[in-house]
Amino acid sequence: MLKNLDRRTVSHMLLVWCNNPPLRPRHPPPPRRLLPPTAHAQTNDVTKLFVGQGQIAVLNSTSLAYASPADKIGCLSSLGNFTASAAECAVFTRIDAYPHTLLTTAGNCSFRNKNMPVNSDSVYGKNTHSWSCGTDKVETVPDETYYTVRGFNYPFLCNGNLDCFYDMKVPPAPVANSTSSVRVPVWQFVWGSDQQEVSPGHVQTVWLWVPVVNGTVSTKSR
């Protein structure tokens, strides 16, 4: 077809095509958990706070944009469970070297310990194991690198591909005159088209890094 056209005409046709390529069908993007507006502006560098040692506060929240320390319902213990007792809040150490895992006095922390309970109430998380810290030799993989994001309002802890939310059962009410608290397992929040929220009886949470400096819990978290 093009052999009957002169070189100038063909060149002009190619130029027009390059500047106006055929339209491709557009597909809706997959659902994403949106970052807070400030994360896109990158105005708040909370990554500088996620170093050394710290406690991990557990916040009852489904929003990275609006979660704050006021949403705190407890913290994580040295074994990786949720606890409502301030006395049982563990001090975690962030490993400086890749893959930047977390550990306590009990050992390395991971979602990979198959001895831990699974989230049987969840459609997509029924085969996932709860977070735990211990001396068991657990495989460490890149998607368990823990980090926070510059632009977050606070140093919320994420891992994997912006997996910044966690799932746990609603903690039981404190027992009167009890000196110990119930420890609740915590799972990665896994969702999909058939279940976009946590299961009934569960609560969606955010982890907040609270720096510990020279053995003292810092009041600076942003």
Domains along the sequence of the chain with CATH: 33-174+181-212 (2.80.10)
- What pLDDT does residue 153 have? 95
Tens digit of each residue's pLDDT, the chain (222 residues): 444 445 454 444 444 444 444 433 333 334 444 455 544 444 689 999 999 999 999 999 999 999 999 999 999 999 999 999 999 999 999 988 888 889 999 998 999 889 999 999 998 888 999 999 986 655 556 568 899 999 999 999 999 888 999 999 998 766 555 556 778 999 999 988 888 899 999 999 999 999 998 777 876 666
| CA-wise closest residue to 58 among 90, 96, 104 | 90
Distance, in Å, from the CA atom of 72 to the CA atom of 58, rounded to the nearest integer, reads: 6
Question: CA distances (Å), 132 to each of 7, 37, 40, 57, 165, in order?
Answer: 70, 32, 32, 16, 16
User: Quick one: 155 exposed, middle or buried, by C-beta within 10 A (0-12, 13-18, 19+)?
Assistant: buried
Backbone Cα Rg of the chain: 24
Nearest to 45 by CA among 146, 147, 154, 145: 154
Q: Strand ranges (DSSP E) for the chain?
A: 53-60, 72-76, 82-83, 92-94, 102-104, 107-110, 132-134, 146-147, 158-159, 166-169, 186-188, 202-213, 216-217
Direct distance between the N- and C-terminal alpha carbons of the chain, in angstroms, rounded to an integer: 66
Distances (CA, A) of 23 to 14, 17, 19, 152: 16, 11, 12, 37
| 128, containing H or E segment | none
Which of helix, strand or coil describes residue 125?
Answer: coil
d(CA 161, CA 143): 7
Which three-class secondary structure string do you get for 145-187? CEECCCCCCCCECEECCCECCEEEECCCCCCCCCCCCCCECEE
170 closest CA partner among 6, 60, 13, 33: 60
Cα(76)–Cα(206) distance, integer angstroms: 12
Q: Tell me the three state secondary structure of residue 18.
A: helix
Token pair for 103: 């550990």
Q: Supply the pLDDT for residue 109.
A: 92
pTM: 0.77
